[in-house]
Amino acid sequence: AQQRYATIRKEPALTLCGQRIALHMNAGLMADLPSLESSGAEGVGLFRTELQFLIRSKVPKRSEVAALYARVMDAADGRRVVFRTLDIGSDKVLSYMKRQDEPNPALGWRAIRVGLDRPGVLRMQLQALIRAANGRPLSVMFPFVAQLDEFRTARDHLMREIDREGRLGRALPEKLEIGAMLETPSMAFSPRQFYEEADFISIGGNDLKQFFFAADRENERVRRRYDTLNVSFLSFLEQIVKRCEDTGTHLSFCGEDAGRPVEALCFAAIGLRCLSMRPASIGPVKHMLRRSNLAEARAVIDTARASGAQSVRPAIIDWLRRRD
């Protein structure tokens, strides 16, 4: 199988019906970057910046943070890298941050909520990103945005830092993209302005699914209880795809499910055109997409949904078995 994936490494993820799906990789450390070459990923769809903060015993300095981002951009060599600002709290606890005693940390003070309430570290990180880009294109994504004003306030912080860096005479990004992760069901129903104002949106399926089914992603007893291909969740994702199509907003999916070939196929069948996953999943997902016709997969999904099935998985698996 490894050899099969190697032969398609440089080939696009082009389906039998001629649809091109962009496959990007998730990363978080410099050590991940060589995978960009070896996996055939088109870029880094999610760079989890919190890893640098998690592996240390104190907050890294702005110069250290900027140095990492610059090295990542150097290694990406012009390919797009989406930097997600700090996503701490919940399952990601910094040893040097005063522990918040929260009964439900996944629903607590985490990610952009911390960044907006205590903007010092967020602003330092935004400065580091601007300096690291040093005139190159820059993509910044805010995690765990749950209502429109959180996105706007985070974006205002970034624009203020852009102004400030410009006044200091530093090179500003030749192109700036500001996006948000869609990880809470609320954003599927947000005002249209969210979709219009975000340059791109990435579905954080790990969190979105946990909140959709009210099932803790860390809890072994429930985390596999609900199928990602459950018809309710799939229809929910489809509404997000529609809203992005209506506003022309670039949409990707960067949760773990994007790296599972059957899930990736179903996501493409309901209209997703960009998936970001761990590097080792790129080959298997590409292989699946290259031998699939999305309209056929879509018809199988629609028939299963109309029949009252709970999940489309059995029907898709059956179709794949008969097909291959």
Residues lying near Mg ion in the complex (CB under 5 A) are found at: 183, 204, 207
Is 206 a binding residue for ligand PEP by CB under 6 A? The answer is yes
Smallest distance from Mg ion to CB 228, Å: 15
Subset of 112-171 contacting ligand PEP (CB under 6 A): none
Is 87 a binding residue for ligand PEP by CB under 6 A? The answer is yes
Smallest distance from ligand PEP to CB 271, Å: 19
Contacted by 60, from ligand PEP, Mg ion, none: CB < 5 to 8 Å by type:
none
Amino acid type, 187 = M
User: Stretches 69-77, 157-165, 198-206, 242-250: which one binds ligand PEP (CB under 6 A)?
Assistant: 198-206
User: Stretches 112-120, 163-171, 205-213, 311-319: which one binds ligand PEP (CB under 6 A)?
Assistant: 205-213
Subset of 168-197 contacting ligand PEP (CB under 6 A): 183
Phi, psi at 199, each rounded to 5°:
-75, -30
CA distance linking residue 260 with residue 311, whole number of Å: 16
CA distance linking residue 241 with residue 245, whole number of Å: 6
Task: Look at the block and give the residue holding tokens 């985490």.
Answer: 110
CA distance linking residue 20 with residue 209, whole number of Å: 26
Closer residue to ligand PEP (CB): 42 or 161: 42
CA distance linking residue 11 with residue 4, whole number of Å: 12
Task: Look at the block and give the residue holding tokens 């990610």.
Answer: 111
Smallest distance from Mg ion to CB 183, Å: 5
Residue count of the chain, please give it. 324
> How many positions of this chain bind ligand PEP (CB under 6 A)?
10
CA distance linking residue 68 with residue 128, whole number of Å: 9
Subset of 252-271 contacting ligand PEP (CB under 6 A): 254-255
Is 205 a binding residue for ligand PEP by CB under 6 A? The answer is yes
Closer residue to Mg ion (CB): 110 or 286: 110
Smallest distance from ligand PEP to CB 183, Å: 5
User: Stretches 29-37, 54-62, 200-208, 311-319: which one binds ligand PEP (CB under 6 A)?
Assistant: 200-208
Helix, strand, coil shares of the chain, percent, nearest 5, are: 50, 15, 35
The answer to whether 272 touches 202, Cβ cutoff 8 Å, is no
Residue 276 burial (10 A CB sphere; 0-12, 13-18, 19+): buried
Smallest distance from ligand PEP to CB 323, Å: 29
Amino acid type, 244 = C
DSSP 8-state symbol, 172 = P
For 250, the enclosing helix (H) or strand (E) is strand 250-253
Is 51 a binding residue for ligand PEP by CB under 6 A? The answer is no
Is 32 a binding residue for ligand PEP by CB under 6 A? The answer is no
Provide the binding-site residues for ligand PEP, judged by CB under 6 A: 46, 48, 87, 183, 204-207, 254-255
